[in-house]
Amino acid sequence: MSPRWPGRLAAAALLAWYGATMARGLMWFDAGELALVGSQFGLGHPPGQPLYTWMLAVCARIPGVEPLVGMNLLSALTVAACALPADVLLRRLTDASPGARFLALLSVGAVAPMWDQATRIELYGPATLLSLSLVAGGVAAAQAERRDARAWGGLGLLAGLTASVNPVFALSAAGAAGLYCLPMLGRAAPRAVAAAALGALLGLGCYVHLWLVHDATDRLVWGELHSVDGVRAFLTGADYAHTEHGAWRQVPEHLGQWLVWVAGQGAAPVVVLALVGWVMGPLRRHLLLLALPALVGAAFTFTYGSAFFPEIPDYNGYLAPAFWLGAVGLGALLHRAERPLLWGTLVFGLTAATGERPIWSRSRAGVDVPGALARTWLEDLPSRALLLVESDHLVFPLMYFHEGEGMREDTVVLNVGFAASSWYWRHLYRRHPDLPRIALPAPDTPTRLRRLLAAVDRPVVLESDRLAVRLGFRPCSRTWGVAIGPTCSSVRDAPTVFAERLRAWQVEDLVTPSVVAGLAFDRAGMLWAAGNASGALDALRAGLPGGADLPVPRGLARPVDASPLRPPDAVLVGDPLYNRLLGAELLRRLGRAEEAAIWAASP
């Protein structure tokens, strides 16, 4: 057997890089929720990912390490460790030299989608590590012709543990490993399958976590877990029934968008060469090992919804096993080259130095915009306020700092998306016993929320004017969000503070510029609707990188017959380019052609 140092050295090098550049706080999307349940030892979104929650709970309690730092470190460690089972597959399926294996692993670990998973709180690092270990174990068992219960029980245990982080990863990896091994088993197949099934049940024992937390009242526990029907609804994702993966006709379009994005991130050489290595050489006879994880990952990635945004971590997370299996194809291709080390170095160099952000410019160590945004909103709330929020980029960081770190416990933060589920109302009432009880049976969520707003005696703040209008209220502007009802009489609106914060949050990141642009547009839309055209332009300008010098004439009022601002189509949160062009259009409507030209020409 060839030396094992390439996998170990690649893992160590990647861990050093990931650890130095990982976030020290929260990033966007599910990171806030996952960090909350990990720090509280609670229960997150279906199907619960109990093993990952246990891992987070341990990392959040490392002596001398901040909880968020420890939880981010878990991602860095597990993504870097993916080089180990990937190297096992390289050794067993190819004749690549140690140097070629090292460069192939380093190249895959350096691609932007893998770095993204390694530098934020997210479950795809552990899920990918376990699934790759399962595939590598299956290949090792097949090549050694292992038919004993110990080997197959161990594979089953890995499958169960993987399912305790993400069942989709477990199904694809177990399917690939099992189909690869079945021809070797012969008559021993029933015994081996039985041993694997018992091992899987043992691994799935992590789901005892649901029973451990079902009565907890001091943490976030998703779902109603006091009945068989409630547990079934949780495990089958009843709360996500409206987010089905059914956009099959749009798969070619989404795949094309993803390929363009991957090329823009500098990952195209690795993707293309890895595929060539799998399909054009002797590795082709093992293609099932790549095909099943890749197809399952693609099914979950490219069939989700009508709008597709490659920068969302979930999308590339489901493709992470295929990326690491790509190292095997890349290593096989390098082995066929006359000078594998030279070509391997070239591939790594292209991966490292090309794309929107070369590896030396990637770092989240100083990026804390999600946390700063959440803390800013909480600090700005009136005493005892009720805050209604619905956007993922704001909801989950707010939940972490409000419930996880106990910030502004006099206030109530209500997640509008969760308000469709009765378990969430019970959670709110446990946290805030003085909150008025309302009749929960209702035709829709807005009806529930209107009942609460009619009964509550707290100042009320909403995330946006669109949410206020949807609930039937006329909003008034404030620095962060909008107020309604009596709260408007004492509202604080500090445009200068808003602009200063947004300019401070202009950092290079996959998602942050879109969030900042979305915040700017929301405020601009509210001020435009109120008739303050200059204020709307100020807000749009604040969300533009380098926009401080764009001209905004004072005293402009919205024309009486002007329509509301229309948000951009098919964007993640917001779009700086759209905001700039919208500002130019508004100035033209207001008869300020000279200023409009400056906005339109701004880079």
Taking only the tens place, the pLDDT of each residue in 178-227 is 989 988 888 778 888 899 999 999 999 999 999 999 999 999 999 999 99
On average, the pLDDT of the chain sits at 93
**What pLDDT does 403 receive?**
96
What is the strand order of the sheet 412-415 is part of?
412-415, 386-389, 460-462, 482-483, 476-477
CB 149 within 8 A of CB 191: yes
Q: Rounded to whole angstroms, what are the CA distances from 448 to 16, 60, 485, 535?
A: 50, 36, 18, 33
Question: Among the three residues 490, 508, 529, which one is the final residue of a domain in this structure?
Answer: 490
Do 400 and 300 belong together in one domain? Answer: no
Note the pLDDT of residue 244.
Answer: 58
Residues 473 and 520 in one domain: no
| Residues of the domain holding 570 | 495-601
Q: Are residues 357 and 382 in the same domain?
A: no
Decide if 247 is inside a domain.
no
User: What mean pLDDT comes out for the span 228-256?
Assistant: 82
Place of tokens 């989608």: 113
What is the per-residue DSSP string for 29-41? Answer: TTHHHHHHHHHHT
Residue position matching structure tokens 């094992």: 4
pLDDT category of residue 256 using cuts at 50, 70 and 90: very high
State the amino acid at position 289 in one-letter form: L
Identity of the amino acid at 350: L
Q: Which stretches of 39-93 are assigned E, i.e. beta strand?
A: none
Given a cut of 70, whether residue 85 has pLDDT beyond it is yes
CA distance 546 to 603: 9
Q: Does 458 reside within a domain?
A: yes
Q: Are residues 296 and 425 in the same domain?
A: no
The reply to whether 281 falls in a domain is yes
Give the C-alpha separation, 565 to 523, whole Å.
11
Final residue in a domain of this structure, among 331, 361, 391? 361
457 in the same domain as 335: no
Do 301 and 373 fall within a single domain? no
Q: Residue 30's closest CA among 119, 122, 112, 114?
A: 122
Integer CA distances (angstroms), 386 to 459, 460, 462, in order: 6, 5, 8
Q: Is the residue at 69 inside a domain? A: yes
In a domain, 203, yes or no: yes
| pLDDT surpassing 70 at residue 245 | no
Q: Any idea how long the chain is?
A: 603
What is the separation of C-alpha 539 from the centre of its chain, rounded to a whole number of angstroms? 27
Look up the pTM and report it.
0.95
pLDDT given for residue 51 in this prediction: 98
Q: Please tell me whether residues 397 and 519 are part of one structural domain.
A: no
d(CA 297, CA 304): 11
**Given this model, what pLDDT does residue 315 score?**
87
Q: How far apart are CA 275 and CA 358, in angstroms?
A: 23
Model confidence at 1: pLDDT above 60: no
- CA 47 to each of CA 27, 89, 133, 167, 270: distance values in angstroms, whole numbers, following the listed order: 22, 30, 22, 8, 33
pLDDT of residue 492: 85
Structure tokens at 38: 């990990």
* Boundary-marking domain end, from 490, 515, 534: 490
- Let me know whether 481 and 530 are in one domain: no
Looking at the structure, tell me whether residues 343 and 477 fall in a common domain.
Answer: no
Same domain, 486 and 502: no
Asked if the model's pLDDT at residue 144 lies above 60, the reply is yes
Could you give the number of structural domains in the chain? 3
Both 480 and 568 in a single domain? no
In 3D, which of 506, 512, 482 has the Cα closest to residue 572? Answer: 512
